[in-house]
Amino acid sequence: MAIVNRVADMQNEIAQWRHDLHAHPELLFDVHRTAASVADKLKAFGCDEVVPGIGRTGVVGVIRGNKPGSKVVGLRADMDALPIEEANDLPYKSTVPGKMHACGHDGHTAMLLGAAKYLAETRNFAGTAVVVFQPAEEGGGGGDAMVKDGLMDRFGIQEVYGMHNYPGMPVGKFGIRHGTTMASADTIAIEVEGVGGHAARPHLSIDTVLVGAQIINQIQSIVSRNVDPLKSAVVSICVFQAGTTDNVIPQTALLKGTARSLSPEVRDQLERRLHEVVEGTAKLYGAKAKLTYRRGYPVLNNHANQADFAAKVASEIVGGGNVATDHPPMMGAEDFAYMLEARPGAFIFVGNGDTAGLHHPSYNFNDDVIPVGTSYWVRLVETAMAG
C-alpha cells in the first residue's frame, strides 16, 4: 500500500486521539468536549481559520495551500456516539455509562484530524481544504443543521467528501458506487386505541395487543406484496408498548419503527400504504389507530464524477484491485446525504476488518485503518488541487 510516510509516522498519535474520544463519548449535538478538543487541535496545527458552533456544535477548519488556486474541497467526519453500554474490556473503554462509540465516529474524527495536521504542515496543494467535524449523525440530522447554517456558502465549498468504516471488509480495501448508495430513513409511530377491560372478559373489550400484533403482520405485506420486487424497501417495527399487568387488557398501545427505501417513488408508496394498512387493520377490529410518519434522512446519492475521482484516489493508496467501484447499496442511512444534496461529492467505505458490526456493544474501530483512511484524505486534497 502507498501509505503516506508522514501519516504512518503519526499513526500512534492519531490512535491516542481516538482512544481519548472513545473513552469520552457524547451524543447527538451534546458533543461539547469532543468539539472543544477538535477545535484546540486544529488551532495547534496552524489552520488558517477554526470556526466552532456551525450547526450548533460542529467545528470547521480552513487550510489554504501554498500554491495559488480557487478550488475549495470539503472533507467531513462525524463526532457523536451512541446510547449503548460498551461490552469491550479496553484500556480506553467508555467512561460514560450507557454511551459508547459503537459506529467508529471516534476513528473518523481522529483520521480527519490527522489529515488536517499533515495538510497544515505541508500545504502542498493549490486551493483550500475545509475540514468539517459534524455533530448528531446518529439520528439528529447534524449534517442538515450544518448545511442550513451556511456551511457550503460561508466557506465556499465546491465539492464535499465523506468516509465511513465498514466492518467485514478487510483493512486496505475501499468500496464506492455511483448514485444511490444508502437509504432514506423515516420514522413510524402508531398509536392504537381500543377498549380496555378485564383479561377474563375479552369479549367486552377491544384488545390493543391483538390489534397491534395484526398491524405488525399486515405491515410486512407492504414490502412483499406492494413494492416492486426489483426495488428495495424495509419496514421494521422495533417497539411495541402495551399494558402494565397480566390481567388487564390495555386501552392503548404504541408501536414504533422505521421505513427505508432507495428511491423517492418507493418512499412515497411506503408512506401511503402504511397509512392505509394501519388504519384499515385497526378498523377491522373496531379499534382506532393513528400513524405519524416523519421523514428523516434522504437517500444518499454519490455524484458520478466525484465517485470516480474518489475511487481513483483510493486506488493510489491501496491499488485498484482493492477498490470496489460497484459496492452494493445499503439500507442504512447517513446524513451526509444532505451535504451531497447541497454540493457534488462522494461517500466512500473503508474496510474495518473482521470486527463486530456497527452499533454493536462489542464494536471497536480498528486502529490499523488509521494510516489508510488518513492517507486517503491527504491524497484526495493534494490530487484534487494539484495546481
Catalytic site residues?
80, 137
Burial (CB count within 10 angstroms: exposed 0-12, middle 13-18, buried 19+), residue 241: exposed
Q: Which of 354, 363, 338, 313 is nearest to 105 (CA)?
A: 363
- DSSP tag of 299: P
Give CA–CA dist 18/383, Å, rounded.
26
Give CA–CA dist 151/153, Å, rounded.
6
Give CA–CA dist 368/166, Å, rounded.
13
Q: Amino acid identity of 32?
A: H
- DSSP tag of 367: G
Q: Which of 307, 215, 286 is nearest to 255 (CA)?
A: 215
Give CA–CA dist 323/212, Å, rounded.
46
The radius of gyration of the chain from alpha carbons, rounded to an integer in Å, stands at: 23
Inter-helix orientation angle 32-45/105-122, to 10°:
20
Helix then strand then coil, % of the chain, to nearest 5? 40, 30, 35
Sheet holding 252-261: strands in order across?
Answer: 233-242, 252-261, 184-193, 288-297
Give CA–CA dist 174/46, Å, rounded.
30
- DSSP tag of 173: -
Whether the CB-CB separation of 125 and 67 falls below 8 Å is answered with: yes
Q: Which of 105, 109, 100 is nearest to 137 (CA)?
A: 105
